[in-house]
């Protein structure tokens, strides 16, 4: 019995030592992860300052979209991706106004590749409205100017 107790004591001691060693290693790994995160943040800040990443003027984009939106429409979703891709979804009472909206966006500064992706009728109380989705691209003028001004 004494040998079993001695073995269990040694085994527990060894396990505790191994746990402490692993905890120390985990601490080192955590510190390395923090350093990588910090480096990524600094890199992103540097790229933003140099104009290398798409950094849209969201307020300006929304103002242009609002200015192009007909009175018979209401927007239910606007998504702006990091690469400048925009998805605009909404509902409209007069289907013909969808084409006016798309035409205005095509003429808006900074917007191109404007496409009506689809429409579908929806019943709203006692009337039929049209759901629509438009996709387009927005090109940040600052990004374009920065890339023209640099050699690489």
10-14, 48-52, 57-61 — which one is most confidently predicted on average? 57-61
Q: How confident is the model at residue 150 (pLDDT cuts 50, 70, 90)?
A: very low
CA distances from 60 to 3, 69, 109 (A): 79, 14, 11
Q: pTM, whole model, 2 decimals?
A: 0.58
> Is the model's pLDDT at 89 over the cut of 50?
yes
Q: Are 52 and 137 in contact (CB under 8 A)?
A: no
The predicted pLDDT at position 38 comes to: 78
Strand partners, 78: 88
Q: How far is CA 68 from CA 44, 77, 80, 90, in A?
A: 33, 15, 17, 13
What strands, in cross-sheet order, belong to the sheet with 111-124? 73-80, 85-92, 127-138, 111-124
- Give the CATH fold of the 58-145 domain: Gyrase A; domain 2 (3.30.1360)
In the prediction, which pLDDT does 40 show?
A: 77
At 150, is the secondary structure helix, strand, or coil? coil
Cα–Cα distance for residue pair 38/75, rounded to 1 Å: 38
Q: Where are the domains of the chain?
A: 1-53, 58-145
- The pLDDT tens digits for 101-131 are 999 999 999 999 999 999 999 988 888 999 9
Residue 130 phi, psi dihedral angles, 5° rounding:
-120, 125
Per residue in 8-18, pLDDT tens? 566 777 888 88
Our separate counts of H helices and E strands in the chain read 4, 4
């Amino acid at each position: 019995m004494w040998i079993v107790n001695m073995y269990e004591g040694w085994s527990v001691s060894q396990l505790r030592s191994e746990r402490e060693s692993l905890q120390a290693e985990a601490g080192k790994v955590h510190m390395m992860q923090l350093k990588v995160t910090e480096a990524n943040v600094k890199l992103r800040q540097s790229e933003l300052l140099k104009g290398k990443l798409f950094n849209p003027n969201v307020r300006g984009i929304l103002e242009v979209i609002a200015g192009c939106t007909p009175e018979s429409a209401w927007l239910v979703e606007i998504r702006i991706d990091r690469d400048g891709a925009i998805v605009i979804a909404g509902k409209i009472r007069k289907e013909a106004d969808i084409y006016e909206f798309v035409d205005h966006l095509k003429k808006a500064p900074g917007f191109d590749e404007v496409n009506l992706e689809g429409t579908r009728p929806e019943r709203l109380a006692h009337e039929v409205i049209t759901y629509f989705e438009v996709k387009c691209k927005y090109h940040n003028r600052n990004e374009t100017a920065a890339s023209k001004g640099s050699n690489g």
